[in-house]
Amino acid sequence: MTVRVRPEARADIFTAAHWYEDREPGLGTAFIAEVDRAFQRIELGPERYTLIHRQLRRALVRRFPYAIYFGLETTDTVIFAVLHQRRDPKILDERVDHPNG
In CATH, 2-86 is 1.10.1040.10: no
pLDDT in tens, 13-24: 999 999 999 999
pLDDT in tens, 64-77: 999 999 999 989 99
pLDDT in tens, 4-14: 999 999 999 99
Measured over the CA atoms of residue 87, residue 85, residue 29 and residue 78, the dihedral's sign is negative
Q: Residue 100 — very low, low, confident or very high, per pLDDT cuts 50/70/90?
A: very low
Burial class of residue 84 (count of CB atoms within 10 Å of its CB; 0-12, 13-18, 19+): middle
- Note the pLDDT of residue 101: 35
